[in-house]
Amino acid sequence: MRIGFTLPQFGSMARQADQVAGFARQAESLGADSLWVGDRLLAPVRPIVGYAGTDTIPEGFNRRLDPFALMTIAATVTERPLIGSNVLNATWYPPALLERSLTTIDLVSGGRLLAGFGVGWSPEEYQAVGLPMEKRGARLDESLDALEALWTTDPASYQGSYWTVPATHADLRPARKPRPPIYLGGAAPAALRRIARRADGWLPVAVPGAVVFDPASVNEPLARIRALAEGYGRDPGAVDVVLRINPTATASLDDIVATVVRAGDETDVDHVFVELMYIAEEVDQALELAGRILDAAR
């Protein structure tokens, strides 16, 4: 089982931004297989939509660091871990800008980028980027099409209903060929169809401390994705999965480790990462917990 951790990006650890590089180096030395970021722009005072089915926004989102900057830092100071996003809200960014940033990170890391994308859930964040929240699934499809064009053709161009890339020379390629792997989040029927049709992998979530991990929560959607992928003419086994473990503040170390072990024993998951925002307030504490999780789960 490969085990990774989130970088210090949100909550009280965001105030320790000068320790991100040290965290990444130390996590690598502990044996972390991957390092991850998310993508939050706002923490609305009166949210129209709350986080993860609630009416509120986690207090940790009041403090947030830039995901592209953190991935670049981690890529620069490490040699082995994958550098992942779970998830970047691809619909917020013009594809040419997104491609430039991700190509840079992949080159700096020597081909270790895992690009995880989603469409977001906060109406206020869409307001802040000046885009409508409606049709965000269609906008994501166009973003993926434009990225594919920029990464695999030269000259490259794209013309869609939402995004346009005028014809451009595009001969700086990512280190990973033909492009970095693209993973997508989501569990709605449309999201599962999109994953089956075009993604390299799926990004489900487990929440120890709130509910006991049920392998069926991964196995059943994954079986649906792979059946759909076969219907699209793809190799169903080529659709990978990375499980995000998002423990609540009340989750114990045993809860987290049990989720890792059960995912490895009872699902096709062979790669997980643990969100540290809710269970650590300081970078040193996050590293201590990461070490204990790695020791107990392997």
pLDDT of the residue at 205: 97
Identify the CATH assignment for 2-297 out of 3.40.980.10, 3.20.20.30, 3.40.50.40, 3.10.20.30.
3.20.20.30
pLDDT, average across residues 4-29: 99
What's the mean per-residue pLDDT of the chain? Answer: 98
Can you give the residue ranges of every domain in the chain?
2-297
pLDDT, average across residues 39-43: 98
What is the distance between the alpha carbons of residues 48 and 40, in angstroms, rounded to a whole number? 15
pLDDT tens by residue, 12-24: 999 999 999 999 9
pLDDT tens by residue, 257-291: 999 999 999 999 999 999 999 999 999 999 999 99
pLDDT of the residue at 53: 84
DSSP state at residue 185: E
pLDDT of the residue at 164: 99
pLDDT tens by residue, 150-193: 999 999 999 999 999 999 999 999 999 999 999 999 999 999 99
pLDDT tens by residue, 64-91: 999 999 999 999 999 999 999 999 999 9
DSSP-based three-state secondary structure for 9: coil
pLDDT tens by residue, 196-222: 999 999 999 999 998 899 999 999 999
Question: What is the chain's Cα-based Rg?
Answer: 18
What is the end-to-end Cα distance of the chain in Å, rounded?
8
pTM: 0.97
Return left, alpha or beta for 258; rule: phi > 0 is left, psi -120 to 50 is alpha, else beta: alpha
